[in-house]
Copies of this chain bind each other. A is one copy, B any other.
Amino acid sequence: MSAFPAFRRAATASTRRIPHFVRNEHRASLAAFATAASELSKQPTPREPPNFPCVEAHAARESKLQSINGKSGVKLTNESTSEDPSASGPEPPYARPNPSSYQTFSSKKPLPLVYYPESPLPQYDIAYETWGKLNSSKSNAILLHTGLSASSHAASTEANPAPGWWEKFIGPGKAIDTDQHFVICTNVLGGCYGSTGPSSKDPLDSNQAAYATRFPVLSIFDMVRAQFTLLDHLGIDKLYASVGCSMGGMQSLAAGWLHPERVRKVVSISGTARSSPSAIAMRFAQRSVLMADPNWKNGFYYDGLPPHTGMKLARQIATITYRSGPEWDQRFGRRFRDSPSQQPASGPRIPALCPDFLIETYLDHQGEQFCLKYDANSLIYVSKAMDLFDMTHSALTSLNLVSGDAQTPDLTATGSLHLTPPPPHLPDLAAGLVPLVNTPVLILGVQSDILFPADQQRECAAALKLAGNTQVVYYELGGVWGHDTFLLDVANVGGAIRGFLS
């Protein structure tokens, strides 16, 4: 305490004494009153409104996109039918990867769809990339499932040397060791990076227009079935492992569930077996701002400008759910965009209504970076598939994925996981997960994740155990990186995967 004499004096002031800087504050207040009166007589004009660069950015982006397209987005709708859209029509301006940088499996056979048993997808493409070599017995393949908006580019390749989204996890000697394994990553069905999705041409449309919102609502199971037709095409009967993070963690479970005899091991990181209402709420908020963008036009924007402002706003919301408050405390705190040296030496800094705190400029930047990189309709369809994912037996029954005769178990097997209280749907989830009963499963959760909270992974692991699976490995990580931990924590996430796969 002796190191802080000034503070201590104030803190131990008697109850009668008002600390000195409170008196100072009152003096400042009185001085401000006096200044106010004199200023008023000098300046009878109203204050000017501030500028709003964050709002102007939307209009600037719109103008830029119009100039790239060579014409107004509004006029485009009328003009597009008079031209050959494949020759001169505007391309969706989001950044598609170069088609030569990935491989494409094109299926001419229809794909059955969970929600439309009588109306399958007539044909479809699956974009994919591979790393490592398939061995002669074709027994070393790992199928990798991505998060919502990722492409098949999980790691650099000869065809595309840019770093992939899981660059540090895949390669010779890395957690997913390409010296040992043949790794396959696909762009998800419904996405926009080479696989068939809402931005693809509808083969039933005589004008070759995009599906837009004529695209069917997808299930995670549809996406995984499409992946297995690719495996058939590659002659891979049995996977060494199915590995996925976030939405990919759902798909990885679904892969092992759909084809227990074709998947040796399942890894599900920061995923869930049953999307929770709070995660649905966060994704609903994103879809809502996107669909309210006037450019969205019920999804039929492909011959005009995309809903880039809605996408930016949606990504801002999403970004909030990808990290954690503790990380922002450490990284940004309450610092402003201008450094202290740029701020007034004395007197208050006037705050702005546009991004002003560093946390705001960070969210703004994340939204701006993303808004032209991904197709809005893909965001809607893929996020909806995540919401719909539910491996409880009753949900699977309602989708005709299982027959309805399983019974719900009791809860005696869940004592080893901290679920207080166990959610009421746990027995139903356990009954749903029975097809995974003989598959070794690694479940990994992160305590700071607010989008897929660790309770979700705990409940999945508990349900698997309850179903009778004796080969469940459950890890729970600390740290401040939230949902994005699977992209960042190479040591712990990578280490858990390496141990489980070896």
Which residues of A come within 8 Å of B, CB atoms?
1, 3-8, 10-13, 15, 18-22, 24-25, 28-29, 32-33, 35-37, 39-40, 43-50, 52, 54-55, 58, 109-120, 122, 202, 204-205, 211-214, 216-217, 225, 257-258, 260-261, 274-278, 280-282, 284-285, 287-289, 291-292, 294, 296, 298-300, 309, 313, 316-317, 320, 324-325, 328-329, 332-334, 343, 346-351, 353-355, 357-360, 363-364, 380-381, 384, 387-388, 390, 395, 398-403, 405-410, 412, 423, 425, 431, 434-435, 437-438, 450, 453, 467-468
Contact = CB atoms under 8 A, between A and B. Distances in A.
A55 B292 contact: yes
8 contacts: A1-B410, A4-B410, A5-B407, A19-B260, A33-B112, A36-B111, A47-B214, A278-B324
B284 A360 contact: yes
Contact of A275 (B334, B407, B468): B334
Given A25-B401, A294-B294, A347-B400, 4 more contacts: A32-B112, A288-B313, A292-B309, A334-B395
Contacts of A13: 437-438
Contacts of A438: 13, 15
A28 B118 CA distance: 12
B407 A110 contact: no
Nearest to A385: B351
**Closest 6 interchain pairs by CB?**
A11-B468, A32-B112, A278-B325, A36-B120, A277-B328, A21-B402
B334 A110 contact: no
Given A214-B46, A313-B292, A403-B20, A468 B12 contact: yes
A287 B468 CA distance: 49
Contacts of A275: 334
A302 to B, nearest CB: 13
Given A1-B410, A309-B292, A110 B348 contact: no
A44 to B, nearest CB: 6
B24 A402 contact: yes
Nearest to A329: B277
Nearest to A258: B25
A285 B363 contact: yes
A425 B284 CA distance: 35
A287 B353 contact: yes
Given A20-B403, A435-B18, A348 B398 contact: yes
A435 B26 CA distance: 12
B116 A320 contact: no
Nearest to A390: B334
Contact of A117 (B35, B205, B296, B363): B35
A274 B325 CA distance: 14
Contact of A288 (B54, B351, B412, B423): B54
B260 A18 contact: yes
A351 B383 CA distance: 13
A277 B435 contact: no
Contacts of A381: 353
Interface centre among A50, A110, A274, A328 (most CB of B within 10 A): A110
A29 B225 contact: yes
Contact of A353 (B213, B355, B390, B434): B213
B357 A277 contact: yes
Contacts of A406: 6-7, 10, 21
A498 to B, nearest CB: 25
A1 B395 CA distance: 23
A348 B49 contact: no
B18 A348 contact: no
